A and B are shown apart, each in its own frame.
Chain A
Amino acid sequence: MADARSVAYVRTQAAPVLPPPALSDGALGWLRANLFSGPFSAIFTVLAVAFIAWVAPGLIRYLFIDAVWTANDGASCRSPEVGACWAYIGQKLPFFMYGSYPREWVWRVNMTLVVGAALIVWLLAPKAPAKQIGAFLFFVVYPLLGFILLSGWEKIGLPKIDTDVWGGVFVSLLVSAVGIVVSLPGGVLLAMGRRSTLPVVRIASVIFIEFVRGVPLITVLFMANFMLPLFLPENWTPDRLLRPLVGVSLFASAYMAEVVRGGLQAMPKGQFEGAMALGLGYGRLMRLVVLPQALTKVIPGIVNTFIGLFKDTTLVAVVGIYDFLRAVDTARLDPVWAGPNISTTGYIFAALFYFIFCFGMSRYSQYMERSLAKDRLR
């Protein structure tokens, strides 16, 4: 028997591993599969690249290279060759943040914001402990604390600061915070009302929800601004900032109600029946069994409502409230800075701010959606 190894046509060593054909793997392969898979695809790719090549250099020049980073007034921003005037943003930052809130008391605003942010992280972080306490602090204690800090209480040495000097990012956050603090409980009540078996309760809830959802926010703000003082007794004049807060809260409650209703509807009937079989009344059934599960399910929806609410806070400018966008939009009239690039710079800055905020939240909501979907699989 001849050893197989001695036969000439039997290989004695493995053939070297050859790379795959250049066009199906590696950078070229990727290009071919993802950018040039067909004539149309190739045309689109070329168009897209051309578009980027056309826009990007100018944008980068405007935002960075030609931008004015330091200046004490608008003189150096006025020349037609320069780009964004970031120096102006730096100078006006306190105004954009706090409006005309007295500078020596700005720490009160900061403290309110920090406490609020901490509580929100507590509530939204997936594995944080004792969320009931957090919720109690956020929905009951925090509004009181915020009110005392921001508005002032002479007895503890905080002078009163009228709402007409409030402005900027702080007011935008305030409006959306009040909106969410009121609309969550309000939305839960309305959603429960809409699913109630009592016809009067159901009809009242449906009318309210559909009415508010059917009209634009601006008209709700007009109503709150002009009609609220008329509906109240004479000599009662609600604060100018309070009126849009009422309007925004009503508006957000109606939208929140629909989100919560989605969660209630998704609850399996067995949960209700099981709880009833245990002898729980309606109140405890909702509080202990249904709502905790339903609300967890709709966290992404709640966050999305909040994103919408936050973007909608820009509309309060229509009733004369100096929110962040209004502050940016009016600061450009300052004769020290006025110039052709100022408004564009302001808008870009505002857009960045809103984008970071809203995009971050929408990422969080997508993350929650995924982790909730995982829970459901288990």
Chain B
Amino acid sequence: MSGRAVDLPPVAKISPFYDPRVRGFVYQGLLVLALGILIYGAASNAIANMQARNIPTNFDFWNKTSGFDINFTLIPYSAQSTFGDAFWVGLLNTLLVAAIGVFFATILGFIVGVARLSPNWIVARMATIYVESLRNVPLLLQLLFWYNAILKPLPGVRDSIVIPGLSGKPFAFLNNRGLVLPQPVFGAEFDLVLAAFGLACLLAAGFWFYARKIQRETGRRLPSGWAGLALVIGLPAIAYFAAGSPLTLDYPVLRGFNFSGGARVLPELVALLLGLILYTATFIAEIVRAGIQSVARGQSEAALALGLSGGQVLRLVVIPQAMRVITPPLTNQFLNLTKNSTLAVFIGYPDLVQVFAGSVLNITGAAVQIIAVTMAVYLVISLLTSLAMSFYMRLTATVER
């Protein structure tokens, strides 16, 4: 190119009006100003309105006695506890639903996703029907349906369905108050069993690393999976009997209207979990299917040519590669499930929104603070999950050679 030799004319001085940088500053200044006015106006109105209506503007309510009961709590709580305690009860209940829901939705989603690609015609069709029908119906409708469907056929407390235990003694009861299970009571020696379990996990992990090393060096495969399983189950079992069975069960007894003793799984919890799992699994199935399809066909063909079985191809070759495509949208679904658990308000499961943004809000009237705190909780959960995911993605990023 000869252009380099040509003398460029000196850069003309641009009028500041047309200077993109100046314009940029002006636009941003205007935006800041507008947002400032908007936020200031909203805040000053809110303060004025809240004062005029005697709405509390602080968090004084946090340590006051709540006065209401919650029928499902993971930490001790009674009507004499504070509103702050109610917050923690709600938060833990939300996390419980999210954890159980994520676990089972992932398993079901993977199964259905693989089933949609199954060469078996009827299995693939059924998976498709399941996915298409449930993902196209609002979750709320499904929750209402399950709640109704669970409660209706179950008998009353006095006619509970008895699930017999090994000794022939009634083990659990199923009725329209939920599933009443014996509550495990841990003796002091139970720590020994826990310690044995920890030790077994360490040993199993160590053996796994050792087996991997042997395989890398010699190609010989050691049964690390079975050995690990035997350790993790066997060692605590030995410790349990050695410590003289420190675990007893508190069996539920029918007394008056309800069972006393034992632990109870609420029908609301079951309906909520059922709805969330079945709904989210349809989305996970689609993600898994897309992920598997994104793995080049040559990969599975090559694996089959090496003599791996169909299951091994999936487990050792296809899914590990698909995971990179699957993980980001999968995390999104986990977050969706967590956010969707707020639908608990419609079926009366005491989650964070039901307890905190419901009962506490109504009784204290501190709407702004309570809704802000509730939103912040979900934001924090979202942020933490995103962080964990990006960390995982960095860990599993393809190493280009």
Contacts and interface: CB of A to CB of B under 8 A. Distances in A.
Interface of A: 33-35, 37, 41, 44-45, 48-49, 51-52, 197-201, 204, 211, 213-219, 222-223, 226-227, 229-234, 307, 311-312, 314-315, 317-318, 325, 329, 340, 343-344, 347, 350-351, 354-355, 358-359, 362
Given A232-B45, A344-B145, A354-B136, 5 more contacts: A200-B28, A230-B50, A233-B45, A314-B141, A358-B135
B122 A222 contact: no
Contacts of A343: 148
B340 A216 contact: yes
A218 B342 contact: yes
Nearest to A220: B375
Question: Interface SS of chain A: helix, strand, loop or mixed?
Answer: helix
Nearest to B29: A200
B120 A37 contact: yes
Contacts of B24: 197-198
A216 to B, nearest CB: 4
A204 B35 contact: yes
B141 A347 contact: yes
A227 B371 contact: yes
Given A219-B374, A231-B45, A233-B45, A211 B379 contact: yes
11 contacts: A35-B122, A41-B123, A218-B343, A222-B371, A222-B374, A232-B45, A234-B52, A312-B138, A315-B140, A325-B140, A358-B135
Interface in B118-144: 118-123, 126, 132-133, 135-141, 144
A216 B357 CA distance: 12
Question: Interface SS of chain B: helix, strand, loop or mixed?
Answer: helix
Contacts of B304: none
Given A215-B339, A227-B46, A351-B145, A41 B375 contact: no
A318 B374 CA distance: 16
A347 B148 contact: yes
A358 B342 contact: no
Given A44-B123, A45-B122, A219-B378, A358 B46 contact: no
Contacts of A219: 342, 353, 357, 371, 374-375, 378
Contacts of B137: 311, 351, 354-355, 358
B42 interface: yes
Nearest to B27: A198
B356 to A, nearest CB: 11
Contacts of A340: 152
Contacts of A204: 31, 35
A361 to B, nearest CB: 9
Contacts of B357: 219, 222
Contact of B378 (A216, A233, A315, A329): A216
Which of A48, A197, A359 counts the most chain B CB atoms within 10 A? A48
B144 A347 contact: yes
Contacts of B118: 41, 44
Interface string B343-365: 10110000001000100010000
Contact of A35 (B42, B121, B132, B374): B121
